[in-house]
Amino acid sequence: MDITRGRWRLAFLAVMLITCVGCDQATKQLAIDHLKGTPPQSYFGDLFRIQYAENPGAFLSLAANLPEDARFWLLTVANSLVLLFVGVIVLVRKDIDRMSLIALTFILAGGVGNLIDRMTTQNGVVIDFLNLGIGGLRTGVFNVADMAITAGFLLLLPFVFRRSEEPATVANTGT
């Protein structure tokens, strides 16, 4: 089975999107039902916390202080366009290798999960509920969609820093 070809690609994309977005939305609903209004709960010597948070911004609450209209255009409309672009690349480009396809699908799934929150919650917030850290060194509060996006970017890193296998050539201008 080659997930980079034809029907297998579409099936892979559908299964990954349904699985990632489904897990993201289900865990967010659990957070709303069981964590909202409760104090943070710590596990494993405070290495892992679950706590309900509504994030009006992007990653690490970036853009949270922008006016609501600006946040809508940046975090909902612009984000939708980026996700549409990634989706088209995943569906149309025939030269995507397996790891890049997996990475882009994780990014797409995570982005869709958070976009659903922005479009369905009051004030366009994203529901976050996970936190990791030791002492004062902690992550921001995040969710399953954020984990998918992060996994996708981490899988893409080797491709970003990979050196071209073909040496660069300089055009001969005849001078």
Active site amino acids? 128, 146
Cα–Cα dist 131/12, whole Å: 30
> Which pair of tokens denotes residue 44?
């494993």
Length of the chain in terms of residues written: 175
Residue type, 82: V
Cα–Cα dist 174/56, whole Å: 58
Burial class for 95, CB neighbours closer than 10 Å (0-12, 13-18, 19+):
exposed
> Which pair of tokens denotes residue 84?
């549409």
Cα–Cα dist 109/21, whole Å: 6
Neighbours of 168 (CB within 10 A): 5
Give the contacts of 138 (CB within 8 A, at least 6 positions apart).
Answer: 49, 131, 132
